[in-house]
């Protein structure tokens, strides 16, 4: 608690899905000076706005969560946008943090930074062993540049920047937009909307063969706060739950938990994405004592219940 008492922390993306949980975690730790830049006031793609943010907030720590991101469809439609905007936000913000002598920068990467074919479970040591899966490579590489920059600035300037690699997140308050949501919220919405309309079937992209690992949002936030407090090394750190589930089994589970009784049609003309995703989480456990707490079925039920209550699918 004492560590956070006098910290002035900027949390970019603090009003978003993961950001809200991180803010809650910081509050519980006793952090009294949290600054959340809103896009209408500070456009982090613009250098002048970044400089003004640092002047206004005077942070001694930055937790950079802000990202322009989406599922496979959004990545396919916006490769240039996702590359440019994520790169410009991260690179300029980290550089200005160094120039302004911010004590610590916590960079949040993405599992999309890993090579398409990576030995499972993904070890941080394998992050440079190949090219990312094509549909999300521009996003993954833009975020991956923060790792390069973090390590370069530590080496040359002794700047304390760390880099975390969270796996796919889910939980209450997620993005359920039809255009940009990730797989779990997209499937929940699809099943609930089908129930509401009385549809006899739903169509799901791909073959169902790929596997994914999912981390409950509060677990991810807890890891970020722990690393911000305790981890000060150049090596990247995976943040995950240490398990994987096939997309087919995931669909079956969501179908069952939402109560959808119809047929699932697999559209194999659509891309599967990366074949497998599952992280080796030993480094997080060793370096700052982190392990995930929320069981997948429990987190999934909470997410579905939140959607049904807050989106009001019954009307």
* DSSP assignments along 31-90, one per residue: --EEE---TTT--TTSHHHHHHHHHHH--SEEEE-------HHHHHH-HHHHHHHHHHHH
Q: How many residues does this entry show for the chain?
A: 315
Name the CATH superfamily, with its identifier, for domain 2-170+214-242+277-293: NAD(P)-binding Rossmann-like Domain (3.40.50.720)
pTM of the complete model beyond 0.85: yes
Which residues contact residue 268 at a Cβ distance below 8 angstroms, ignoring those fewer than 6 apart? 206, 207
Give the residues across from 23 on adjacent strands: none
Nearest partner of 139 among 113, 169, 177, judged by Cα: 113
**pLDDT given for residue 315 in this prediction:** 45
- Distance of alpha carbon 307 from alpha carbon 300, whole angstroms: 11
Q: Tell me the catalytic residues.
A: 139
**pLDDT given for residue 71 in this prediction:** 73
DSSP assigned state of 102: -
Give how far the C-alpha of residue 34 lies from the chain's centroid of Cα atoms, to the nearest Å. 20
**pLDDT given for residue 12 in this prediction:** 98
Which residues of the chain fall below pLDDT 50?
Answer: 313-315
């Amino acid at each position: 608690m004492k560590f956070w008492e006098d910290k002035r922390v900027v949390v970019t993306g603090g009003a978003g899905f993961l950001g809200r949980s991180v803010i809650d975690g910081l509050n519980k730790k006793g952090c009294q000076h949290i600054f959340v830049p809103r896009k209408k006031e500070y456009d982090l793609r613009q250098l002048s706005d970044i400089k003004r943010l640092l002047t206004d907030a005077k942070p001694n720590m930055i937790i950079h969560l802000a990202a322009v991101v989406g599922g496979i469809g959004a990545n396919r439609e916006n490769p240039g946008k996702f590359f440019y905007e994520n790169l410009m936000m991260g690179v300029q913000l980290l550089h200005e943090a160094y120039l302004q002598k911010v004590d610590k920068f916590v960079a949040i990467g993405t599992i999309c930074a890993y090579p398409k074919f990576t030995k499972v479970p993904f070890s941080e040591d394998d992050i440079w062993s190949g090219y990312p899966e094509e549909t999300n490579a521009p996003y993954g590489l833009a975020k991956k540049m923060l790792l390069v920059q973090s390590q370069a600035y530590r080496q040359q300037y002794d700047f304390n920047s760390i880099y975390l690699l969270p796996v796919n997140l889910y939980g209450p308050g997620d993005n359920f937009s039809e255009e940009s949501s990730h797989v779990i919220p997209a499937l929940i919405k699809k099943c609930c909307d089908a129930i509401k309309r009385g549809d006899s079937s739903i169509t799901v992209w791909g073959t169902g063969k790929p596997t994914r690992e999912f981390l409950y949002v509060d677990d991810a936030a807890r890891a970020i706060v722990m690393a911000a407090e305790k981890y000060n090394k150049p090596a990247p750190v995976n943040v995950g739950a240490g398990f994987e589930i096939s997309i087919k089994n995931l669909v079956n589970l969501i179908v069952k938990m939402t109560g959808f009784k119809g047929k699932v049609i697999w559209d194999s003309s659509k891309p599967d994405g990366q074949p497998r995703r599952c992280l080796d989480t030993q480094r997080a456990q060793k370096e700052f004592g982190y392990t995930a707490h929320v069981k997948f079925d429990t987190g999934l039920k909470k997410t579905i219940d939140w959607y049904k209550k807050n989106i009001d699918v019954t009307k």
